[in-house]
C-alpha cells in the first residue's frame, strides 16, 4: 500500500481514480474498507487516547487454595456491587499479619471478576517489605502504561503526566488492578483509577488514609483451627488429616493459624507420604523457641516451621537457600542464583520451589530469553539470611555477596555497551569470580528492559557496595546504569545512584570516577530542572580536573557548564564556555565533543537571533558529527541548521535540512526532537502559503510533545498558539476553545 506524503498531491487527472489511492489487501488490527479514494491518504498508527484498549494485559498471578475467607469475599463483592450501582470505582484494602493470606484472598476474589472486566488485569508489587525500599509510584505507572500499549518512548516524563495518561487510557474500559504489599496511602493514591474499575490494595498495615478515596477496608485475622485444618487437608490431599484429626489440629495450632506456616508444614508432609502428622507436631514443638532474632510480629511458629523445612532440604539446596538470603533485592533471576553458587543452580531452584522455600515470580520480558524469576516471602527471606549467618563461614558469605554484586555489575556493563556504544566505559573491578553475566540478547531495547526490571536490585547493590567493603562497585554500577537513566528518566534513582557513587569514588580517592559521578549526576539534575545544583556539580568537576592537570577532562566540563548557564538564561557566559570547548576539545583529541560544543554554540546564536552565526556554527557541527558517525546528533545539527536557514529566508535549504532531520529522528523514535523539527516545518509551510500542511504538522508536533512528556514546555505552548491562530483564520474552533457566549 502506498500513501501520499504531507504536501504531496496524488497523481492522475481530476475526476479519475488514481491507482496510488486504491486500498486493497489485508490489514491486521484496525481496518478501513474503501472502494475508490480521492485526495491524500494519511494513515497513522501513533497511539492516541484510548488506544490502550487494543492491549489487554492479564498480569494477575495464579491463585492457590483458599479456606475460611467466605465472609471477606462476600463483603468485598457487596462493596463492589454498591460502588457499581452508584457509578463509582471500587477501591478495597486488605490488611493483616505477614503470611495471613492477604494476597491469596485478593487474587481469589479478583480472578472471579474476569468475565465482568474484559479490559484486563494489572498487577504491581509495591515492595513495602523490600530491602531496597518501596516502589516509586511513577515507575509503577510507567509499567502500567506500557502494559496498556503505550510505547516506552511515549511514556511521559513526570508523574502527573503519567497519571493523567493512565487515567485517560483506562477511563473507558473495565479492568482490575492489584497493588500488592503497599507501604503507605500516599504510595497508592497516584495509582488509583476512576470509571468502573476495581482496585485492590494489600498491606501489612491498615490504611485509614485511603478512606477519603472511598476505600472499603478488610482486615484478615489468622485462620480458625477448623479452617487451618481444612487448608492442610487440601495441601496433603491423601486422607491423613481425616485419619489423624487430633494431630492435624495440634499441628495447625503450632502454625498459629497462618496460612504460610500451614502451607510450608503441609508441603513438608506431602513430600513424605509415609510419615504421620504426629511426627511433624513433635518436631515443630521442639523447634518452637528457636530463631528469636527473627521475631517479627510474634511469628515464632512460622520460624519454627521454616527451620524444619530447611533441615529437610538436600545439602546443596540448603546452601543455595541460605546464600540467596544474602541477595539484597526483592526478587532475582536464574543467572543471579547461578552467581550465588558460582555454578549452575536451576535444579536446586526447582527443589526450593517444590519445598515452598522460594516462589515463582514469573518469566522475564520478551527479549531476555524469558529468564525465570524468583522471590522470597518476606519472612522466608529473613529466615534464609539468618541461616546464612548461622551455617556459613564469614568468608563464604562475603564471597557470595561479591559474586552477586559482580553479576549485576557485569550484566549492567554489557547492557551499557549495547545501548550506548559511544559512552566511554571506565574500567571495572571484579572479585575472584567467576563472574556470571545475564543473557538478554544484543538488542538495545531488550538491554534497556533488563536494566529497568533489575533497577531495584541494581540500586540495592549500589547502596550495599560501600559498607560491604567494595566501594568501587558502587560508582561503577551507577556509571553502567547511565543509559537507562538517560533514556527512561528515573530521576530519583539517577540522583541516589550518583550520590552514593560519588561517596564511593571520593572514599577511594579516584579522581576520574569522582568527576564522572559529578558530570553524569549533574546531567540528571539538569533534567529535573535543578540548574543551579547541576552547575555546582560541573564546577566541582572542573576544579578537580584542573588540580590534577587533566586538560581533556577540564575541557569536557566546559560543555557541561555551558549547558547549565544556558538553562539559567546566562547566554553570554554559555556562549563563551561553548566557544572555548569547541576549540579545546579537538586539540585534546575529542573531536566529537568539540562538534557538540559547536552545536550548542549554534543553538545559543539562534536564540539570540544571530542567524548567520548560527548557520556557520551548525554547519561545522554537522560536518564534524557526520565524520564521527554520531547519527543522532548529526540529525540534531541538521535540524538546527534548517532553523537557521529559515531565519535568513533560505527556504529551500531549510526544507532540505529539516526533512533530512525529520526522517532520521522519526526512525529513532526521538519524539521531542521530532516535534521541534515538525514545528519548524510547519512554520516553513506557513511562509509558503500552505496553511493545511502547516496545521497538520503543528498537530503532529503537539501530539509528540505530549507523548514525550513535554506538553507544558515552551515549544508545546508556542505550537498551541500557532495552531489556534490557524484554526481561527480558517473558521475552525481549536480543540479546547471556549464555546461562543449565548446571545443576549
pLDDT in tens, 650-661: 999 999 999 999
For residues 95 and 133, what is the distance between their CA atoms, to the nearest angstrom?
19
Q: What is the pLDDT of residue 199?
A: 96
What pLDDT, on the 0 to 100 scale, is given for residue 6? 33
Please report the beta strands in 76-190, taking only residues with DSSP state E, as ranges in sequence order. 90-96, 121-125, 176-180
Helix, strand, or coil (residue 624): helix
Rounded to the nearest angstrom, the gap between the alpha carbon of residue 488 and the centroid of all alpha carbons in its chain is 7
Distances (CA, A) of 10 to 4, 15, 42, 615, 697: 6, 12, 12, 35, 19
Position 291 confidence tier, pLDDT thresholds 50, 70, 90 = very low
DSSP state of 588: T
Distance CA 267, CA 355 (A): 6
Q: What is the mean pLDDT of residues 306-315?
A: 84
The mean predicted confidence, pLDDT, of the chain is: 84
Task: Find the mean pLDDT for residues 161-170.
Answer: 91
Burial class (CB in 10 A: 0-12, 13-18, 19+), 77: middle
**19 pLDDT above the threshold of 70:** no
Check whether 730 has a pLDDT greater than 70: no
727: pLDDT strictly greater than 60: yes
pLDDT at 445 over 90: no
Rounded mean pLDDT, 39-45? 43
- According to the model, what pLDDT value does residue 709 have? 64
Q: Which of 158-162, 575-579, 727-731 has the lowest mean pLDDT?
A: 727-731
- 420-424, 551-555, 707-711: the lowest-pLDDT one: 707-711
* pLDDT for residue 72: 94
Query: What pLDDT shows up at residue 731?
Result: 57
Residues 53-112 pLDDT 10s = 457 899 999 887 788 899 999 999 999 999 999 989 999 999 887 778 899 999 999 999
Residue 406 parent element (H or E): helix 394-419
What percent of the chain is modeled with pLDDT above 70?
A: 86
**Predicted TM-score (pTM) of this structure:** 0.70
Contacts 24+ apart (CB under 8 A), 669-674: 669/151, 669/153, 670/153, 670/632, 670/635, 671/153, 671/154, 671/704, 671/705, 671/707, 671/708, 672/704, 672/705, 672/708, 672/710, 673/635, 673/636, 673/639, 674/704
- CA nearest neighbour of 91 among 203, 187, 242, 217: 217
Stretch among 31-45, 409-423, 618-632, 674-688 having the lowest mean pLDDT = 31-45
The pLDDT of 708-737, averaged and rounded, is 72
Please say if the pLDDT value at position 253 is more than 90: no
What is the distance between the alpha carbons of residues 341 and 53, in angstroms, rounded to a whole number?
Answer: 44
Rounded distance between C-alpha atoms, residue 2 and residue 20, angstroms: 6
**180-204 pLDDT, tens digit each:** 999 889 999 999 988 889 999 998 8
Q: Average pLDDT of 128-156?
A: 86
Which of 85-94, 265-274, 387-396 shows the lowest mean pLDDT across its residues?
265-274
* Distance from C-alpha of 575 to C-alpha of 566, rounded to nearest angstrom: 8
Peptide bond connecting 434 to the previous residue in cis, omega within 30 degrees of 0: yes
Q: Could you give phi then psi for residue 691, rounded to 5 degrees?
A: -65, -35
Report the pLDDT averaged over residues 213-228. 90
pLDDT given at position 35? 45
- Tell me: the pLDDT tens digits for 409-437? 999 999 999 888 777 788 899 999 799 99
Predicted pLDDT of residue 514: 96
**Using 50, 70 and 90 to split pLDDT, how confident is the model at 376?**
confident
> Which residue, chain included where needed, has cell 510547519?
682
Q: Is the pLDDT of residue 503 over 50?
A: yes
DSSP conformation class of 741: P
As a whole number of angstroms, the longest Cα–Cα distance in the chain is 95
What's the rounded mean pLDDT across residues 634-648?
94
Set of cell numbers at residue 733: 474552533
pLDDT digits 0-9 by tens, 566-620: 999 999 999 999 999 999 999 999 999 999 999 999 999 999 999 999 999 999 9
Q: Beta strand pairing status for 372-375 and 359-363?
A: antiparallel
pLDDT of residue 732: 55
Query: Of 72-76, 294-298, 402-406, 439-443, which gets the smallest average pLDDT?
Result: 294-298
Residue 369: the pLDDT is 43
Specify which of 210-224, 440-454, 570-584 reaches the highest per-range mean pLDDT.
570-584
CB atoms within 10 A of CB 511: 17
List C-alpha distances in Å: 175 to 81, 118, 170, 422. Answer: 15, 6, 8, 43
CB 395 within 8 A of CB 465: no
Residue 716: alpha-carbon gap to chain centroid: 25
328/334 Cα distance (integer angstroms): 15
pLDDT for the residue 306: 77
Q: Where are the alpha helices (DSSP H) in 568-670?
A: 571-587, 591-607, 611-628, 631-647, 651-667
Contact between 345 and 352 under an 8 Å Cβ cutoff? The reply is no
Q: Which of 261, 232, 234 is nearest to 248 (CA)?
A: 232
Kindly list the distances between the CA atom of residue 184 and the CA atoms of 91, 215, 286, in Å, as whole numbers in the listed order.
15, 14, 38
> Can you tell me whether residue 200 is helix, strand or coil?
strand
- Secondary structure (3-state) at 577: helix
Q: What is the mean pLDDT of residues 553-562?
A: 95
Mean pLDDT of 40-51: 42
Residues 519-528: pLDDT tens digits? 999 999 998 8
The Cβ-side half-sphere exposure at 83, using a 13 Å CA radius, reads 21
Count of CB atoms within 10 A of residue 442's CB?
9
With a cut of 90, say whether residue 457 has pLDDT above it.
yes
pLDDT at 311: 84
User: What's the alpha-carbon Rg for the chain, to the nearest Å?
Assistant: 30
Amino acid at each position: 500500500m502506498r500513501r501520499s506524503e504531507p504536501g504531496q498531491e496524488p497523481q492522475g487527472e481530476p475526476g479519475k481514480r488514481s491507482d496510488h489511492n486504491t486500498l486493497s489487501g489485508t490489514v491486521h488490527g484496525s481496518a478501513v474498507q474503501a472502494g475508490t479514494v480521492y485526495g491524500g491518504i494519511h494513515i497513522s498508527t501513533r497511539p492516541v487516547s484510548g488506544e490502550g484498549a487494543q492491549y489487554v494485559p492479564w498480569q494477575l498471578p495464579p491463585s492457590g487454595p483458599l479456606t475460611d475467607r467466605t465472609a471477606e469475599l462476600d463483603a468485598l463483592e457487596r462493596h463492589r456491587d454498591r460502588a457499581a450501582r452508584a457509578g463509582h470505582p471500587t477501591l478495597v484494602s486488605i490488611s493483616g499479619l505477614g503470611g495471613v493470606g492477604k494476597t491469596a484472598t485478593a487474587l481469589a476474589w479478583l480472578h472471579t471478576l474476569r468475565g465482568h472486566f474484559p479490559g484486563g488485569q494489572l498487577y504491581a508489587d509495591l515492595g513495602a517489605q523490600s530491602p531496597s525500599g518501596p516502589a516509586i509510584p511513577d515507575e509503577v505507572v510507567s509499567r502500567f502504561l506500557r502494559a496498556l500499549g503505550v510505547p516506552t518512548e511515549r511514556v511521559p516524563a513526570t508523574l502527573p503526566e503519567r497519571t493523567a495518561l493512565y487515567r485517560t487510557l483506562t477511563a473507558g474500559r473495565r479492568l482490575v488492578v492489584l497493588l500488592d504489599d503497599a507501604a503507605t496511602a500516599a504510595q497508592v493514591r497516584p495509582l488509583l483509577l476512576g470509571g468502573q474499575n476495581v482496585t485492590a490494595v494489600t498491606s501489612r498495615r491498615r490504611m485509614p488514609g485511603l478512606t477519603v478515596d472511598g476505600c472499603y477496608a478488610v482486615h484478615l485475622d489468622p485462620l480458625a483451627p477448623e479452617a487451618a485444618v481444612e487448608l492442610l487437608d487440601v495441601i496433603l490431599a491423601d486422607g491423613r488429616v481425616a485419619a489423624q484429626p487430633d494431630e492435624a489440629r495440634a499441628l495447625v495450632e503450632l502454625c498459629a493459624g497462618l496460612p504460610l506456616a500451614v502451607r510450608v508444614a503441609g508441603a513438608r508432609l506431602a513430600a513424605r507420604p509415609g510419615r504421620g502428622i504426629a511426627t511433624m507436631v513433635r518436631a515443630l514443638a521442639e523447634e518452637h523457641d528457636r530463631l528469636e532474632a527473627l521475631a517479627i510480629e510474634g511469628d515464632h511458629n512460622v520460624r519454627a516451621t521454616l527451620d524444619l523445612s530447611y533441615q529437610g532440604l538436600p545439602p546443596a539446596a540448603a546452601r543455595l537457600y541460605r546464600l540467596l538470603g544474602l541477595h539484597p533485592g526483592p526478587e532475582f533471576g536464574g543467572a543471579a542464583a547461578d552467581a550465588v553458587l558460582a555454578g549452575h543452580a536451576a535444579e536446586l531452584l526447582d527443589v526450593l520451589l517444590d519445598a515452598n522455600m522460594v516462589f515463582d515470580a514469573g518469566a522475564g520480558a520478551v527479549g531476555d530469553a524469558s529468564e525465570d524469576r524468583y522471590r522470597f516471602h518476606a519472612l522466608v527471606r529473613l529466615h534464609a539470611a539468618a541461616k546464612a549467618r548461622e551455617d556459613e563461614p564469614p568468608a563464604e558469605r562475603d564471597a557470595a555477596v561479591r559474586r552477586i554484586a559482580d553479576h549485576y555489575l557485569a550484566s549492567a556493563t554489557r547492557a551499557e555497551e549495547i545501548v550506548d556504544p559511544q559512552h566511554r566505559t571506565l574500567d571495572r573491578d571484579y572479585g575472584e569470580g567467576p563472574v556470571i553475566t545475564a543473557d538478554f540478547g544484543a538488542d538495545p531495547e531488550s538491554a534497556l528492559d533488563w536494566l529497568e526490571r533489575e533497577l531495584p536490585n541494581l540500586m540495592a547493590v549500589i547502596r550495599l557496595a560501600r559498607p560491604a567493603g567494595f566501594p568501587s562497585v558502587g560508582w561503577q554500577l551507577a556509571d553502567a546504569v547511565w543509559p537507562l537513566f538517560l533514556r527512561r528518566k528515573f530521576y530519583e534513582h539517577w540522583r541516589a545512584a550518583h550520590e552514593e557513587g560519588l561517596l564511593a569514588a571520593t572514599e577511594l580517592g579516584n579522581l576520574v570516577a569522582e568527576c564522572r559521578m559529578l558530570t553524569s549526576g549533574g546531567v540528571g539534575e539538569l533534567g529535573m530542572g535543578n540548574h543551579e545544583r547541576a552547575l555546582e556539580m560541573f564546577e566541582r568537576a572542573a576544579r578537580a580536573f584542573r588540580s590534577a592537570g587533566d586538560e581533556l577532562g577540564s575541557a569536557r566540563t566546559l560543555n557541561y557548564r555551558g549547558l547549565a548557564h544556558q538553562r539559567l538564561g546566562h547566554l553570554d557566559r554559555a556562549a563563551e564556555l561553548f566557544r572555548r570547548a569547541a576549540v579545546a576539545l579537538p586539540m585534546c583529541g575529542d573531536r566529537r565533543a568539540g562538534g557538540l560544543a559547536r552545536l550548542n554554540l549554534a543553538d545559543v546564536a539562534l536564540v539570540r537571533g544571530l542567524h548567520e552565526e548560527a548557520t556557520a556554527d551548525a554547519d561545522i557541527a554537522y560536518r564534524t558529527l557526520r565524520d564521527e558517525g554520531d547519527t543522532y546528533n548529526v540529525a540534531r545539527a541538521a535540524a538546527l541548521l534548517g532553523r537557521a536557514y529559515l531565519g535568513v529566508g533560505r527556504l529551500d535549504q531549510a526544507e532540505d535540512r529539516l526533512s533530512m532531520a525529520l526522517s532520521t529522528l522519526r526512525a529513532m523514535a526521538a519524539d521531542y526532537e521530532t516535534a521541534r523539527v515538525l514545528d519548524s516545518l510547519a512554520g516553513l509551510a506557513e511562509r509558503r502559503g500552505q496553511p493545511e500542511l502547516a496545521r497538520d504538522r503543528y498537530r503532529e508536533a503537539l501530539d509528540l510533545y505530549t507523548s514525550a512528556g513535554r506538553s507544558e514546555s515552551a515549544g508545546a505552548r508556542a505550537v498551541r498558539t500557532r495552531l489556534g491562530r490557524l484554526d481561527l483564520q480558517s473558521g475552525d474552533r481549536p480543540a479546547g476553545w471556549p464555546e461562543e457566549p449565548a446571545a443576549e
